[in-house]
Structure 1
Amino acid sequence: MRRLSSQSQKFRLLGLGLLGLVLAFAIALTPLPAPAAPPPATTLETRASVDPLSAGRVYYTSGQFAAAIEQWQTAAQIADQQGDLASQVMSWNGIASAHQALSQWAQANQSIEQSQTLLNNASAPEPILWAQTLNTQASLLLNHTGQAEAALETWQQAEHYYQEAGDLLGTLGVQINQAQALQTLGFYRRARHQLEALDQQLISMPDSDIKVAALRSLGQTLQLIGVPRDSYDALAQSLETARNIGATSDVSSIYLSIAKLAFKLDSPAQALEYFQAAEASALMPLDQLQARLGKLASYINMGDIKSISGVTASIQQQLNTLPPSRTTVYGTINLAHSLARLPHSQRPISNQTINQLLADALQAAKSLGDQRAEAYTLSQLGQLYHQNHQESAALTLSQKSLTLAESIQSPDIISQSAWQLGKLFKQQQQQESAVEAYTKAVTALQSLRGDLVAINQDIQFSYREEVEPVYRELVALLLAENSQASLRQARDVLEDLQVAELDNFFQEACLDLESNPIDQLDAKATVVYSIILDGQLSVIYSQPDQPLQAYATEVDQATLETTLRSFLASLHPSADRPQQLTYSQTLYDWIIRPAEEAGILHSDQTLVFVLDGLLRNLPMAALHDGEQYLIEKYAIALSPGLQLLPASVFSQQDTRAIVAGISESRGRFSALPAVQEEVTTISQLLPSLRLLNHKFTKQSLRQSLSDRRVNVVHLATHGRFSSEFSQTFFLTWDGVVNINELSELLKRRQTDSSRPIELLTLSACETATGDDRAALGLAGLAVRSGARSTLATLWAVKDEVAKQLMTTVYENLGQASLTKAEALRQAQLELLHSDDFADPFFWAAYVLIGNWL
């Protein structure tokens, strides 16, 4: 049995498939070293050897899990007859791992319990046996039941036994696994520190097979926790070490890991280069197959139609020569799925041939006894039949897939099959059945959450193509019903979509969900949910103790996007004011006027917007009814969803603030002269720790936040919000602080009885220009920071304006009767009614996110 964390990664659905927007982070990969001369081809050895323990390993490695179980069961029986404890335990551990691979969780747990029973009844068993057993048990705890804390403790016990056994590779493996558990628990800094320490330890080690394997596993884990640059460095070190010691059997798999990383980073040309190197250096046919499938995906993404035909033929030829295994089944599905993405005229093989590929894969899955592979194949066949307008067959196949996936508790396949069924039922105008199927798909996606961002490369999830549409299509169905029950469900699905988008942004399910009914938050608040659907913009109004109200405006996607982009552009002071009013009134008519005409809005209310898509980048305060701006009538706040909203009322009693800023230029960041006065003035309004220019460093911020009395953090410094996680940050004197680092700084306070941060203010930040989803970065920072409320800017404004508005906001917060939303509104109105800053460009940029009280 392999003891390094590759087993854990395999069962954690780690793969690096076709996830276009998963990590849109441009890193410069170093030049590719020339691959060694291709070694002579070898054949996959799957014949059962005399030793069933070794045969099980061969079958397991080749993806033939049922055959591996059969061999290991034989090995366990022989070992029992011979009184061979070590072989018995290793066999049962292998059986547990194989059952886990087949999603047969009950059998997996029974098998690992058998190993533990044997060890508990033995006198002085070898430490290595306990180490391997605990390693397998921890994998089950994390991947099946999600008990990350128990998994962490179990891996720590396993580490003790590996060290006692003198097994360096096993020790390194479980330390890497512990980092994954820490990351799952939300301890990102601890996870990264552990991996960094391991990296330093590995660098100092002499070159060896252990170093190669550990560095590769480290690289894969670093990618999982969202550190692609460090991931590449570790993989590159693993490759260099393997070449130095002549470990030719490892080179191809390392090239594959780097290629998949490059593909995930949206660099198909670089990915192709590494896939080619992986193919050239492959000793094992399965590595060669994975490399060719990667080449095909790269060619498709690059639009290289000419090269697609050749690599397709080589993949087909190889699949015909390999014995059946999960890897070959998934490889066949991967091929069919990739080709089905192409227009019919560009496919190198016919629809009939693609259909036959999937039929062969289905037969192979059945012969292997691999129900997971069978369910996945049925799902893909259903999609192909639907694409070919064979609805009856598509319905039957999708239902079979769903039934099988539910029986083995595979939510990733459930979500795809149920979605497919929903679309088919919708097409047949079976509304009730469609809603039921879509609801099942969304429930499955919700249960996956964290695994969606690290899904197995063979079960390919693109968030934009295969996750987000499920939520939107269900909302459309529910809004069409227009009953209170359906509107409540639609609202809940919109809340779930907000969470899913932030999970996708962070590339992990890292958000703590709280359910806070609006009537328990604020009796005078109205939550306005917007949703962009096919051919319409819909809005749901939610008020305490009132029925939900929904309104829809029919507008095609092109007109909607043009209007939204034009409105944003018109807010620049140099733009034509009549045009600005035209666009702002159009949006007012779409979003606000129907509710006003229905008489459900009143001037003493706070409007809390849960916005969708491009709407997030727009200032709702600047919508205009023909006579007044929206901010002149209502207090306004933004929310990423009430599931994420901590409920509390702000009080200035005993307030203590950190007021920090940078007024001088730093590298490419320009000077902000008025920041010095802003920091000074606000420091005089609140009891404060003041950090200006060279005193505002990462370390000084960390030390200041250690003051348990601090509950307001005001940062007057450059910052940027982007849909790219890595490009969302704010500036300190000695560098930038990203969302994870800020989260770690504030999370530490949550564990030591410190007061929560009531208000985090970023007074000089902006959203990335030309980034349609940039405001996700703002929402992400607001949520991940742990602050109850975040006050920030959608675009850069004059530092003189920031100084004036921020001063007024803090003065207003000193009035006990004003909420945070009203304090901001009054400050915005002061600018609106001034001579110099009346244009919306100056005051509309400011938004309050989170708790508005």
Structure 2
Amino acid sequence: MTQRYQKLHRQRKLIKFLFLVTLSICFMFGQVGFAQTPNVNMLVEQGIKDYQAGNFFDAIKNWQTALNQYKSNPASAAVVHENLARAYEQVGENQLAINSLSTAMRDYQAAEDTQQVGRMKTELAQVYSTLGQPRKAIALLCGQLFDKSKTLEEISQEKECTPDSAVKIAMKYRDQRGEAAALGILGEVYRSIGNYDQAIKTLNAGQKVYPEYETLILNSLGNAYKSRAQLREIQADSAKQARIVDNEKKLTQQSLEDYRQAYKYFRDSAKLARNQKQNSVQIRGLLNLIQLGSQTKQIKIINDAEFNQAIQESLQIIETLPDSSAKIYGAIELAYLQPEPQGTSPFTYCPTRLTLADTQVLNLLNTSVASSQKIKDNRLLSFSNGALGHFWECRQKTETALKYTQSAIIAADYKLSTRDSLYLWEWQAGRILDQQKDKEEEAIAYYQRAFDILESIRSEILTAERSVQFDFRDVVKPLYSTLAQSRLDLLETGAIANERRANELSAVVTTIDALKIAELQNYFGNDCILSALSPKQVEELLRDNSVAFKNTAFLSSIILKDRIGILLQLPNQATQFQWIEDPNQQGNNKRVSSATLRQKIAEFRAGLVKGKEEINYDPTIAAQLYDWIIRPFAQEITPEKVKTLVFIQDGFLRSVPMAALYDGKKYLVENYAIATTPSLRLTAPKTRDRSIQKALILGLTTPATIDGKNFDGLSAVPSEVDAIKSLFPNHIDLIDHNFIPEKFQQTLNKTIYPVVHIASHAQFGVIPEDTFIVAGNNQKLTINELEKSLQSLNTKSDSVELLALTACETAVGDERSTLGLAGVAMQVGVKSAIASLWSVTDTSTSELVKTFYTNYRNTGMSIAQALQQAQIKMINAKQLPASEGVNIAYNNPAYWAPMIVIGNWL
């Protein structure tokens, strides 16, 4: 099967041979019917010849000159603008292409040529789609759907296109070619945003309209089915992690069926294109077939004989193709074909093995460079030179690798028109320089530029739906981690003067923070959390002298390939950094490896989860982790100076309840109030008046079955709910059959509840689709429904302040699942959340929650302190009088440690 988190769709895919590439040729070229002079007509025709010969800049020059003669002739000017737009696209000038297409549209409207207006909308939609702006593309193709309150999925499910859309215009004028083109592009856009069902439906409609486009639509259908197969494969894996056996089997079978359907469409597209002698379309079908075969080797969607035949046929076609994007991208894709792909971007790692021999690979890459030089397209120059540079990088021929990589950078940097590849080559140059002695600072400069570029465009290339994600694990995390590690390594060598050390650590903090925000965005798959993102960097926030940061210390972790670092930040003080080390070891063995810490963390968590089975908890591992993580900073964070510790964790460290670390005498929570946040820039610490608050209380007492998985009844929930009701007289409670998504939404619509308490099972899955709260009547409240319900309140001054989830279940062993836990409050716009890292007995949770809310109503106590005191009460259970009614077994951290504060700790 494909990798667990293989990217579902390469929005910025190396091969950009999309539907409209051939479509444009079918539409081309409009002939000027009202030429004022034979000379001007010759300019237009010469431009067409230049374009067809690949001389795009000459074509642009001729058409721009001709335009000067058509100022009073909109029909003729429209044709020239239309052709200019295509030339601009070829040289990577997308904004100029948009301007030309928009002008052509206005000119066709002035000339009352509505059919051409529709066609221009289709071409303009393709440009917007390529630029990662699907809302604009859908608006042009199917209607003006700019309602920001609707998700892209909701927009894509609109049943009827508006009369002024490209689809409806083509239908009105019986323009079959235009209608098929509009439906084909619309299907591609739906695929790009992850709505594969709608993509397939739209492409099927397009296939019936205009047979001449069948090869293209078959290819698009293949891609849609392949993308849906990959999604279902990921969903099946998530169901497996969540132990939902029936769903796992069903999704695995559906994935297999979709892969087989994709194979059929790719095969049919290539066969039909071969019969019609459409080499450029045939190569696309063959390459898609080859990639499918490579990615599904274990389930044998394509047999070896057909796979090898497709490769040989593709190699032959590449040789016969004229210099073009199809030839160049096809050569690069064949060159980097791998028997077992390791990731989704071939330029971010050195493949273990390529399918073709090195001599064939080098010939293909040299061919791509030579062809791109003839065409003079900056995007093609960028990818061909970059790909060849990467070939030599992986063979450690640094001088040759750097030469081609720098050529790629120059091409990509031209007017910043190819920034979505520029960061790749800046990063690549940094890696190449890292292979050379005394080039560390120069390498860091390249890494920093790559980081800056990726940060500036990440929101554009991060699609706005959860099922389609910019590849975090292959691109963002490795680049950001490499930049941080390079700076830290340089600091360690002593090569940086003391006066620069603070700036270097500040840059590390910025990089790590950006990494954590990027990971949270990637998990949830949209950018709505950006509305809460502070424009200030972390160190600027820490210079704030308000009560928010008083007596508070911040500990950030960064997990690198072979080690883990901890950053300590205190308000108005220099950042401190330590690698995690074992004080009981000496010399080179002192530093704790990432693998060692991961194993120790797993043992620690497992010991806590199972701790309720033990009469006396053994804190040995808790003490060891304290020595590794906390003790190096003990002098700076004494309880006399610091009252609250806020942890900003990375990776598997997010699953650790830091409250249970042990200093040999006390648990960490006995000395400090503790909170966690994905990023300080996503947290707005602010005190609130908690004396008169309304509460919405939701609970489930009965057993439930969701997606074939059974959840036990929670017998202590009535007691928990009664206690909260007594503390919040102004409340509404929805229990059991009243706790269903519809009533939850209706209740929130009537009034605002600053406190929302949910006493039910909550599952945080490997993917957000498997993240939900168990509701009554065997229903579930999905993270999407919770998000939509609460986000509608964000603009109101008295929006939700605290969300409590008291019976959570995370996917054990998967660090992504804890993103759902750490990010849910941020995602839905809640200021603070308390939640459990794993499910514990409902009786102990009920006891903890009652004490927490009693403390919470004390306005002189922060949220973190309210939880701290509730946990300390349980730690002291054996010393408490019987009248307190606290079970003495609850002093075990298994019962109190998993509950954490997320977000605003005040």
TM over 0.5: yes
1:235-634 matched pairs, under 5 angstroms? 235=200, 238-239=203-204, 242=207, 248-249=214-215, 250-263=217-230, 265-266=232-233, 272-282=259-269, 283-284=272-273, 285-303=279-297, 309-339=308-338, 347-409=354-416, 410-428=418-436, 429-454=438-463, 462-482=471-491, 483-512=501-530, 513-515=533-535, 517-520=541-544, 521-553=548-580, 554-571=591-608, 572-573=610-611, 581-597=619-635, 602=640, 604-634=642-672
1:676 partner SS: helix
Match of 1:733 among 776, 779, 786: 776
Q: Does 1:845 align with 2:895?
A: no
1:808-847 matched pairs, under 5 angstroms? 808-834=851-877, 835-847=888-900
Q: Structure 1's 23 and 768: CA in aligned 2 closer, same or farther, altered over 3 A?
A: farther
Does the 8 Å contact 1:416/1:441 carry over to 2?
A: yes
Does the 8 Å contact 1:646/1:851 carry over to 2?
A: yes
Q: Structure 1's 213 and 107: CA in aligned 2 closer, same or farther, altered over 3 A?
A: closer
Shift of 1:531: 0.6
Give the aligned length: 780
Matches of 2:782 and 2:614, distance apart in 1: 37
Matches of 1:838 and 1:262, distance apart in 2: 48
Deviations 1:224-246 (A, max 9, x none): 4455xxx2355157438847997
Residue of structure 2 equivalent to 1:38: none
Matches of 1:235 and 1:775, distance apart in 2: 33
Q: Structure 1's 558 and 377: CA in aligned 2 closer, same or farther, altered over 3 A?
A: same
1:253 partner SS: helix
Q: Structure 1's 814 and 389: CA in aligned 2 closer, same or farther, altered over 3 A?
A: same
Identity %: 26
Shift of 1:767: 0.8
Does the 8 Å contact 2:551/2:641 carry over to 1?
A: no
Does the 8 Å contact 1:372/1:408 carry over to 2?
A: no
Does the 8 Å contact 2:30/2:79 carry over to 1?
A: no
Q: Structure 1's 290 and 530: CA in aligned 2 closer, same or farther, altered over 3 A?
A: same
Does the 8 Å contact 1:471/1:493 carry over to 2?
A: yes
Letter of the 1:290 counterpart: R
Residue of structure 2 equivalent to 1:743: 787
Does the 8 Å contact 1:411/1:447 carry over to 2?
A: no
Does the 8 Å contact 2:337/2:356 carry over to 1?
A: no
Letter of the 2:534 counterpart: E
Residue of structure 1 equivalent to 2:798: 755
| Range moving further from structure 2, 288-297 or 718-727 | 288-297
Which ranges in structure 2 are unaligned for 5 or more consecutive residues? 10-21, 34-43, 235-254, 274-278, 343-349, 492-500, 581-590, 878-887
Q: Structure 1's 274 and 48: CA in aligned 2 closer, same or farther, altered over 3 A?
A: closer
Residue of structure 2 equivalent to 1:29: none
Residue of structure 2 equivalent to 1:796: 839
Matches of 1:833 and 1:290, distance apart in 2: 69
> TM-score, normalization: structure 1?
0.82
1:174-189 matched pairs, under 5 angstroms? 174-175=142-143, 187-189=149-151
2:723 partner SS: helix
Matches of 1:69 and 1:259, distance apart in 2: 40
Q: Structure 1's 404 and 49: CA in aligned 2 closer, same or farther, altered over 3 A?
A: closer
Matches of 1:287 and 1:275, distance apart in 2: 16
Does the 8 Å contact 2:752/2:800 carry over to 1?
A: no
Does the 8 Å contact 2:691/2:857 carry over to 1?
A: no
Deviations 1:289-336 (A, max 9, x none): 333323333333345695664443232122223333223322221222
Matches of 1:769 and 1:570, distance apart in 2: 13
Deviations 1:90-146 (A, max 9, x none): 4414533552464314533553465477579x5x744556666677678778976x9
Letter of the 1:518 counterpart: L
Higher relative contact order (CA 8 A, sep 6+): 1
1:609-688 matched pairs, under 5 angstroms? 609-667=647-705, 668-686=710-728, 687-688=730-731
Over aligned residues, Cα RMSD in angstroms? 4.1
Does the 8 Å contact 2:644/2:673 carry over to 1?
A: yes
| Range moving further from structure 2, 662-671 or 494-503 | 662-671
Matches of 1:45 and 1:599, distance apart in 2: 65
Matches of 1:601 and 1:96, distance apart in 2: 66
Q: Structure 1's 64 and 332: CA in aligned 2 closer, same or farther, altered over 3 A?
A: farther
Q: Structure 1's 754 and 822: CA in aligned 2 closer, same or farther, altered over 3 A?
A: same
> TM-score, normalization: structure 2?
0.77
Matches of 2:870 and 2:351, distance apart in 1: 58
2:485 partner SS: helix
Shift of 1:348: 4.0
Matches of 1:106 and 1:793, distance apart in 2: 49
Does the 8 Å contact 2:75/2:107 carry over to 1?
A: no
Which ranges in structure 1 are unaligned for 5 or more consecutive residues? 1-16, 25-42, 159-172
Q: Structure 1's 77 and 198: CA in aligned 2 closer, same or farther, altered over 3 A?
A: farther
Q: Structure 1's 98 and 188: CA in aligned 2 closer, same or farther, altered over 3 A?
A: farther
